[in-house]
Every structure is written in structure tokens, then in C-alpha cells.
Chains A and B, each alone.
Chain A
Amino acid sequence: MERLQSIGQLEWFRNKILARSKTARTVVYVCITGCRAYGAAAVKEALEEEVKRQGLAGQVEVRGTGCHGFCAKAPVIAIDPLGVQYQEVSPEDAIDIVAETLKNNRLIDRLAYRDPGTLQPVFYLNQIPFYKKQVKRVLTRCGRIDPTQIEHYLAAGGYQAFAKTLSKLTPAEVIAEITASKLRGRGGAGFATGIKWKFTREAAGHPKYIVCNADEGDPGAFMDRAVLEGDPHVVLEGMSIGAYAIGAEVGYIYVREEYPIAIEHLTIALAQSKKLGLLGENILGTGFNFDISLKKGSGAFVCGEETALMASIEGQRGMPRARPPFPAQSGIDQKPTNINNVETWANVSMIITNGAGWYSQVGTANSKGTKIFSLAGKVNNTGLVEVPIGATIKDVVFDIGGGIPMGRAFKAVQMGGPSGGCVPKEYLDMPIDYDTLQRIGAIMGSGGMVVMDENNCMVEIARFFLSFTQSESCGKCAPCRLGTTQLHEILTRITLGRGKLQDLETIRELGQTITEASLCGLGQTCSKPALSTLKYFTKEYEDHILEQRCAGATCDTMVISACQHACPAGIDVPNYVAAIAEGDYEKAVDIIRERNPFPAVCGRICIHPCEFKCRRGELDAPVAIRSLKRFASEWFFKNRGPKRKPYPVTKKEKIAVVGAGPAGLTCAYFLSKMGYQTRVFEAQAIGGGMLGIAVPEFRLPRQVIEDEIEFIKNCGVEISYNSPIDVNHTVNDLLAEGYSAVFIAPGAQASIRTGIPGEDETLVRLYYGLRFLSYVRTGGNIQLTGKVLVIGGGNVAIDAARTALRVGASDVQIFYRRTREEMPAWQKDVEEALEEGIVLNFHWAPKQILQKDRKITGMEFIRSRTVYDDDGRARLSVDEKTIQTVDADAVIIAIGQAPDASFLSRDSQIERSLWGSLEVDKNKLSTNIPGIFSGGDFITGPSTVIQAIASGRRAAIAIDKYLQGDQSRVEIFDEKTETPLAAGLALEDEAAKDQQRVGVDFEHPQDRIKDFREVEKGYAFNEDAAREAKRCLRCDLERERR
């Protein structure tokens, strides 16, 4: 390579390179930057050897490149001209790749991306969903060129913009073009680049400096790293153009030392540029002088702040100073200095080559161009993505990112690192832009996007960021130095279970003060993570402080094991699982009954929050806790039966319970265990509440409920059936009869009306879900025929639809006004319904019920979907013009149930809530009348069985306290069972480490709809249950081990 003396020589050189590379040959691009951590260097070597060995050395080029973007599947290779991408390639695959694909164009299934839905391989890069919505402008050469060879950059058109600048444009014209492009600083602040250049140009002083801020210190961000490693020349060229425009002669790239490969590639690129004469004196004979040197950081996050960075370049401690004066006026050595981020520089050459008009075709009104994001955390497709500014967060996290692993629920995405805020799910549709995100307290930032799911604790995340900013604070200004320490201390206390309610206000005040009073950007933004998590997840903070509950089950001091913590009733899961592993089923059921007297019911229909938090689930699949519970309780009732001796009555008070549902019976059970006499008043002829009248036989056989209620009765609880509490027998009457306390738990049994035209309850074949189910359940005779239409998306709707199939309907379709993800129904039931042939229609809201001669003929629907307003509130948006009319022979309305307090006498003094229920204290479930308590679905609205059970136990504890005159709060914290088992299970059993989740069988869909047989079968054999139980990691023992 000889020094180029003119632009003409540059172009001559470029033509020669192009000619050399025009030999039509196959190129295998192997990422050896990021993927190197996963063994890519060995993959490249193996491919090179195989190519040689199989005689293809002249036709195939194996090229080491920068990042391909799809980091989750490292090591990644691409093959042209086929256009194929292979993923998770190991050196052993080289033989097949060369022999099959390179030699014979045969594609290899096992190395292709697998579509998670269809499970089919997707070979071609442009068809892989990860890439479809991306627009690669800055990263266009990354992954294609060898970053250590300047010839590649030249062949791809590099330095054309620089040549054009030197020969055809004046500095003012360059600045005008950059300004017209509306390019904004990509480091996070988003200042208009062209304007900054103008200021620096106009400032007095010589020499002027150009700086590239490559100190990418945000944890979670690696966009700049990829550009520096994969296409360093685009940065050098941008800086050179900037230097020309501003009139600078000296350039620095300040790169953090933690990026050794970037330093290596930059060093090579600079040497090659200098050798060719693209940097240095009299560049290309134009008289323009500009040189760039590398400055390495030394491990200080604050040096990403421009004034600290400049101090560091000058060899000093990296402490920021006040601005003004801004670097444009007085920077390095007090001379005018222009600092831009790596990605900003990387955008410059394409603007000069293609023009501002072309550049602004992509982006939003105020921010043009694309932005690179590094997608990381709890997301399937981690890696680098480049999208137009204005793409929505949902596009990036779900369409490109592939959503959350293990089917967990999205919780929030952290954008902008420790200077940014979190974006909760209400704002998923928000376009990503500098201005939009600021409105909700977040920032676009430098591009780091860390996704969090339901198993992350937002308080802990805030604490985590504060520990980072506190240790990185330079210490110069008091607000930041002291403020970060204070905030960190408060947040730490909260995560350790020692928080006070007062702390929340302190965090807000302190956060605001630090923001307003800090000297530099680090201090000014450090409270954002705390303030934004506090704003959107206030309840999580409150729960930590008041209830010692951590929503993500991560804060150690309040969580023994995640499963137990996730259970609303706090059952000691690991211990009963260990009991099952040892074959002691009776002990397992005893442990469950310490918190929940309905093990058999829950073993069938609990939605198992425990399994969603199960840490084993992070490895392969969660432990099948629900099925194990079922197995143990089935054994119990088969071998021990419901007989038992009643608990001794040791206290003189009697307590009355209204409603023999799960909440009421649980309350009575625990009161009885504490020594009280209890009587439950049930309006129906049978017990079980919603369990008894609503959950269908094929999900929960009646016998199971009967056994559990029988057991509870045998414990000493008295139940009076056909004994409603109403105007004839009021709550006040109960108190007069000598009951010292009353627990009201009648459930939520009123069906909600749609209020649409045609909703006339006297129409033939118009039903309400709950009534329909209870009628069938209690032996009523309904025969349906033909097409049945069900409206709703909750469990009642699904159950009603499946029941309709079993009582004669030939066809059942459900219409829900939102999406499948928004359906409140248990996903397991939805899947079973789909298997049975039920059709689900989404985005259709009911408009009108059609009838003829008082008989249902069909319904009209309009298109609908959920939209969120600027404050994050959801509402239903409908499109009146899009209508669907369907025929139907029967309609079942199941859009929800509500509590119905009409049974309480009108002169009752109990304080009502706004929505038809009672006002209760959340901690003690007490009403305004001493001695009267209320809980379960009646208070919360339709919820889950386990919530109702937890509510019943809470009420029992509260009533006991009340009767003892104890006014302290009810504290229900995680506790170990009295006789813990120490079995190590999966950690100690080699076989258990790799054991896949043991499945259960289901009745065949086409058979099971003929009658009401139970759909899901339990484990048939002790060995199956034992194998599954041994998969448990005994997270609860970690404490003792430590």
C-alpha cells in the first residue's frame, strides 16, 4: 500500500481493489468479534482448514467480520451468494458446511434458525424475523467486511464521502448538509449535530479538536463496540469530514479499555489510514491536515461525560466541570472542541454521499435516521438491532426480539442505562424517539435496552442502578456524592425488608434535589431509575415495605424460595415436594394444609403462580408443582379418607361465616384449628361456592370437592346449607345471636350485562355464563343444538364454551374484544378449548343481539382493540365501520361477574365500596363495624381459588387478633414448615439434573367432549411423581448452605 497523493489516486486504487474482488466466488462471513467469546475463532480456523482440505481454496473466501447482529445464536456465519445464515456453529460443523452447502448448495437443517411457532428451519437471512423490521444503514457493512483491511472498506464505497467533501464542498456546505439532515447526537442527549459543529467552527481558537466519545459505559449497551470492532473506518471517515467542516487538526478517539478488540481494530485502522495518507499532513494533496490518536480510558464511567472525558485526555482525574463554557467554545486545552458519539460519527459519511434529503426519508418529524439498539436481558433474540427512529418498543422487543423466554410476562424495559427510566407494558406501542420517551420519564439514551420479566424486582433494579452510579460518582459535587449514597442506602433498606412508608416520599424529594443540583449528567440523571420504577411500580415498593412481599421473588430477606413467595397462601412448597420425592404423601398433604385446606382442589385447578417463579423453570421447565400436589392429595383421600378427629375447642367465642366457598371454608378451618367454634351459613344446598357451581365437572369432579369439605367438617366446622343470610336473617341478627365475629364471603355471583341493544333476558336461548354453568352443574337439563356463540375472555367464558359443546352444541365460537394475551382466562384452559375444536375470535366487541320471534338468530360485532393514552390508561377503541354479523342458535354472555351486596339489609351500617362491594382494610379485611370482616371474590371481584383461600386465612388470623384485643397488623410472611426435610434433590442427584419435566396425560379431545369425564389425568405411578419431585432445586436450602 503506497501513500495516496490525490483524490484521483484514491479512485484509481479503489478501482483496482474492486476489480480484484469481482471474481464471482463464495464468501463465508464469520463473526469474530462478539462471537469470539463463544468460540468463533476456532470456527473460522476449522472452516479455513476444511476449505483447503476439500480443494475449494480458490473459490471460497472465509472472511472474519464484525457483528452480524443476532448475538443470541452465536457463533453466527453467513454465506453469499446463497444468502444463508447458519447459527450456533461449532468447529465440528465445518466438514458438513463445506461438503454440503459450499460444494453442493445443500442446506443444513440443524444449523438454521428455527421458527418458534412452526418449528421449521429458516435458512435465508432476509426471511429470519429478527432481521425483517430492521433497516441497516450504519451497520450495513458490519458483518460483511473484514474490519482489519481498509481495502474492504474502500471496495464498499468508503472514503467517497470524504473525497467529495475535500473536492466539492466548503466547510459551510458540509455543516449545512448535516444540519439539514436533522441528525441528532446518538450518545443520548440528542443535540442537533450540525448546530454543534457550527458553534465549534465559529468559536475562536487554534488548534481545534475533534473527539469521538467511545467510552460506552452504560451497562447493557454494546452498539458502539460493534461499530468500532466491525467497521472502524466509518468512524474515522466521519471524524475526518467533521474536522474539515469545523477546521480542526487534531482528533482523539477516547475508547474504554474494557474493549480490547475495539482497541485492536482501531489501532490497525488508524495505521492503515495513515499509511495510505488518508490521515496526517496534506491529505490527498488538498492541504488539509488532520490526524487521529487513540486514548484509552481506565475504568471510569463518569469519563463518558464530555468534560470529564476531556480532563482524562489531558491526563487528569476525570472530574466534570461546570458548563458554560461548552466544549465548542473551550474544551481540550481550553480550545474549541467538538465531541460526538461513535454512532453519530458513523452517520456522517452516508449523509454526505446521499444527501440530507435521502437521509431524512427515515425517522420521525424531529429525529431523522436510524438508531442502533442493543437488546439484552429477558428477551429471546438478544443482539444488535438497527431500526428507523420511530419504531415502537413493541416492534423491537417482540417482533425483532422474539418476546420473552419461557413464555413469561413482560414487565418493563430499561432504556438508557443508569441515566434512563423503565418503560412498563402500557407504553409498548410508544414510538422510540428522543422526545416521546422523555414525556414518560424515560430516555432513548445511547441505545441500551434491557428487558425485564415478571421474575425481576423493580425495587432491586433501582437499587442496582444506584449502586452503580454511587460507585462511579466522581465525588466532586455534594448532591451527587451524598445523594447517590443516600438513595442507595434507602433502596437497600427496602430490599432488605427494613423500609418505611416515609421512604417513598423521601426518594421523590431526594431524587428531584439531586437532579436539580448536580453538576453533570451523571448526577442529573442518576435518580431516573428510582423515580421511574417508583412511579410505575409503586405497589411493588409498598408491598416490600408493608407486606414483606417481593413481586419478583428476588429480595432474599423476605423470600425463602420463589415458589413459596409466589403462592398467595405462602405454602412451603419445597418441603412438600421433598416429602413426595420420599414417598411420604401424608406428610406432603399435612404441609400443604398448614396454609391451605384444599390441596385436592388446588391440585386440579390452581393457576400455580409458584410454577411461574420456579427457578428450575429457568433451566428447562418448572417443577410440575400442581400435578405433584394432586398426586399427594389423591393418595391421601384414597388411603386415609376425609375422616379425622375434630380440633379441640379451647376458646369461648363463636364465629359465623357467610358463604361456604373457598374463602369462607378456609377461614372457618383455620379458626377451628385455633380452637374457635365456627358455623358456616350457605345459601345453596351444596358447598364449594364457585367451585361447586361454576367450575365444570371435567375440570374439577364433584367428588373432589365433597371429600375436601367433608374433611373440613370433620375438623369441627359446622355448615348449615339452605341457610342464606338475607333480609330474613341478617348479619346483625348473627351478632345478636351471640356470634362474636362474622366473616362475609359470598363470592362474586352477579353476571355483568353487556348493555347492548337486543340484550333481553327473556329471549329463548340467551344465557349468562355463570347461571348457565351452575344450572348444568347442579343437575339441570339443558340441551343445546347448532351454533353457540360465547362472549367473553375469562374462565367462565371458556368453561361455558366447553360445557356448551358437551350438552349438544355442534359448533362453538368465542368472541373476545381484545387479544389472546389479554384474556384473563387460564392459558391452559384456552389451549384445551382450542384442542376441542372451539374457535376463538379476537378484536371483536359485541354490538347487537339479533332475534326473530323472540328466538336468538345471531349477533353483530365491531372491531376493537386496546389503546393506551398518554397517561398509560387503557381503553377500548372501536372501529364502527368494520362489522361482522354471525348466525347463532344460542348466545352465552360471560363478560364477567360482580359482587352483589343486595343480600345485606338496607339499614346495615357497613360501609359500601364504590363498585357494589364492601370497604375493607387491606391488611385485616375488617369493615367499619368492629367484628365484621369480609374477603374473597366478594371484595376483590373474580380472582383465583388460591387468592380466596389466602384471603380466608388472613381473615382467620385477623379475627383471632381482634378477639384477643390485639390491634397489631396481620403479618403473613414466608415461614418454613415445622418439620423440614433436608433432601437435596436435584442438586445431589446426577440423574435429576438432566431430567425433563414428567408430563401428564390428557383425554383425547374428540372423545372427551362427548361427556363430562375429567380431561387431565394425574400421575399414574409413584415413580413418575418421585422423578418429577426430584427435579426440585431446593432453593429454600440455599440459605442454610451459605
Chain B
Amino acid sequence: MEPPEINWDKMQSIIDQHRGEKWGLIPLLQEIQEEFGYIPPTAIEPVAKALNLFPSQVQGVITFYAGFALKPKGKYVLKVCRGTACHVKGSRSIIRLMQKELNLKEGETSADYQFTLETVACLGACFLAPTMLVNRSYFGKLAPARVTSLLDHYRKSKEDKTK
């Protein structure tokens, strides 16, 4: 499967909104990331031009922050927390289970662009350890059975990406 096509008109309008903005690189990149799920490498030059920066500077910022991706992600981005509290409560085995169930290593996206598996350093929901985010939804107190049923749910679901 191919990743979704980029709507270049939308891209252009986002870039235009931040044109010439002082210190505007990160907010601009954040909007692109939010809208398209990643930052297409071909967007680097137009972004640089709009903010009067060198493309290398733009590339440098993209690669520094974990929140920016140069490759498209899946429909469901699964972020398993590996923070201290979750770790202490057994997040490692949850991560291993998910790697096995999805046949993905950390940071990888499935071939059909359905799932991306990532780990995060801390979601701040420590009281619910172990936790994970599926796009914007939190799931806490994870146990192996719950994880498998969640994955099944998302595999079958035809829901909107933002849920």
C-alpha cells in the first residue's frame, strides 16, 4: 500500500500562513506534522524559503525533535509509554507483546500503513501505569489480554483517524 497523497495546495497554504514569522519554524513544522502525519522531505525547501533559513537548518530542527517524522506514519500511531512508573509496573512485557502481535519493531510502520509502533518516554499518566496512546486516546492499567483485544478492535475498525 502507498502512503496517502500529499495535498500540496493545503501544504502551500500552511506555509503561507507562517511566511516570514519570527521564530516560526517549529510552529510551522508542527502544523505540517499535525496535518499530514509527517513532514515530506520535499517540503523542506519551500519551508526554508518561506522563513529565510537554509534547508540544512530546517533539516537540523526536524531531525533533532522526536515529534517530527520524515516518513509517513500509519493510521493508528500506537505510543507505548516506557516512563519510570510504567517501567516499574511492567511496560517491557507490554512492548514485547505488541512487537510480536504487530510484527513491528519500535519506530516501524506496517506495510499497509495501518499501524505505527512507537515508545514514548512518559505520557504523564503514571497513575495508570502501564499506559499507551492510540492517536489521542489513552489506555491505562494494560494487561496482555487487554492489549490483544485493543489491537483486534483497531484492526477491525474503520474509524476516523482522529479518534
Contacts and interface: CB of A to CB of B under 8 A. Distances in A.
Q: Are both chains from one complex?
A: yes
Interface of A: 34, 36-38, 71-72, 74, 216-222, 225, 257-260, 295-301, 312-319, 374-378, 382-383, 414, 417, 448, 450-452, 456, 461, 464-465, 468, 472, 474, 618-619, 1042
21 contacts: A37-B128, A37-B131, A37-B140, A38-B140, A219-B84, A220-B85, A257-B67, A298-B30, A299-B68, A300-B64, A300-B65, A313-B23, A315-B26, A375-B127, A377-B126, A414-B84, A461-B88, A464-B87, A465-B84, A474-B64, A618-B90
Q: Which 10 A-B pairs have the closest CB atoms?
A: A219-B83, A37-B138, A71-B127, A299-B66, A298-B67, A299-B67, A376-B85, A219-B122, A298-B65, A376-B126
B88 A382 contact: no
A451 B126 CA distance: 12
Nearest to A70: B127
Interface in B91-126: 96, 100, 120-126
B41 interface: no
Contact of A220 (B25, B126, B131): B126
B36 interface: no
B62 to A, nearest CB: 9
A662 B140 CA distance: 48
A220 B23 contact: no
B122 A218 contact: yes
Given A315-B61, A318-B65, A376-B127, A219 B30 contact: no
Contacts of B136: 260
A259 B138 contact: no
A1034 to B, nearest CB: 14
A298 B26 contact: yes
Interface of B: 23-27, 29-30, 51, 60-61, 64-68, 82-90, 96, 100, 120-129, 131, 136-140, 143
Most buried by B among A296, A414, A450, A1042: A450
Nearest to B68: A298
Given A37-B140, A315-B24, A318-B65, A378 B125 contact: no
Contacts of B123: 258
Contacts of A258: 120, 122-124
B122 A315 contact: no
A301 B120 CA distance: 11
Given A37-B138, A315-B23, A315-B25, A222 B88 contact: no
A417 B127 contact: no
B89 A378 contact: yes
A472 B122 CA distance: 12
A667 B67 CA distance: 61
Given A71-B127, A225-B124, A315-B51, 15 more contacts: A37-B139, A218-B122, A219-B82, A219-B83, A221-B124, A222-B124, A298-B66, A315-B26, A317-B60, A318-B65, A376-B88, A376-B127, A377-B89, A382-B127, A382-B129
Contacts of B88: 376-378, 450-452, 456, 461
Contacts of A319: 64
Contacts of A316: 25, 61
Given A219-B83, A315-B24, A450-B88, A374 B126 contact: yes
B125 A220 contact: no
B122 A217 contact: yes
A318 B67 contact: no
A838 B143 CA distance: 42
A698 B85 CA distance: 44
A468 B66 CA distance: 13
B148 to A, nearest CB: 12
A37 B141 CA distance: 10
Most buried by A among B87, B88, B139: B88
A159 B90 CA distance: 44
Given A72-B127, A383-B127, A377 B84 contact: yes
Contacts of A414: 84
B128 A296 contact: no
Contacts of B129: 376-377, 382
Nearest to A374: B126
A375 B128 CA distance: 11
B147 to A, nearest CB: 15
Nearest to B126: A376
Contacts of B89: 377-378
Given A37-B138, A298-B26, A300-B66, A417 B121 contact: no
A71 B122 contact: no
Contacts of A220: 83-85, 122, 126
A222 B125 CA distance: 7
A298 B51 CA distance: 19
Contacts of A221: 122, 124, 126
A889 to B, nearest CB: 52
B96 to A, nearest CB: 8
A340 B82 CA distance: 27
B28 to A, nearest CB: 9
Nearest to A475: B64
A340 B113 CA distance: 42
A216 B122 CA distance: 9
A317 B121 contact: no
B153 to A, nearest CB: 15
Contacts of A450: 84-85, 88, 126
B121 A472 contact: yes
Contacts of A300: 64-67
B126 A382 contact: yes
A75 B90 CA distance: 23
A694 to B, nearest CB: 39
Nearest to A529: B84
A338 B125 CA distance: 29
A544 B113 CA distance: 42
Contacts of A465: 84
Contacts of A218: 122
A259 B124 contact: yes
A802 to B, nearest CB: 39
Given A314-B23, A315-B26, A377-B84, A219 B140 contact: no
A935 to B, nearest CB: 36
Contact of A219 (B51, B96, B121, B139): B121
Contacts of A295: 26-27
A621 to B, nearest CB: 16
A383 B85 CA distance: 12
Nearest to B125: A37
B78 to A, nearest CB: 14
Nearest to B25: A315
A39 to B, nearest CB: 10
Nearest to A332: B23
Nearest to B128: A37
A161 to B, nearest CB: 28
A464 B84 contact: yes
Nearest to B129: A376
A312 B140 contact: no
B65 A299 contact: yes
B23 A74 contact: no
Contacts of A468: 121
Contacts of B127: 34, 71-72, 74, 222, 374-376, 382-383
B128 A216 contact: no
Nearest to A460: B87
A296 B30 contact: yes
A130 to B, nearest CB: 12
Contacts of A34: 125, 127-128
Most buried by A among B26, B120, B124, B125: B124
Contacts of B24: 315
A220 B139 CA distance: 16
Nearest to B87: A464
Contacts of A374: 126-127
A255 to B, nearest CB: 11
Nearest to A229: B124
Nearest to B88: A377
Given A317-B61, A317-B64, A377-B85, A217 B121 contact: yes
Contacts of B82: 219
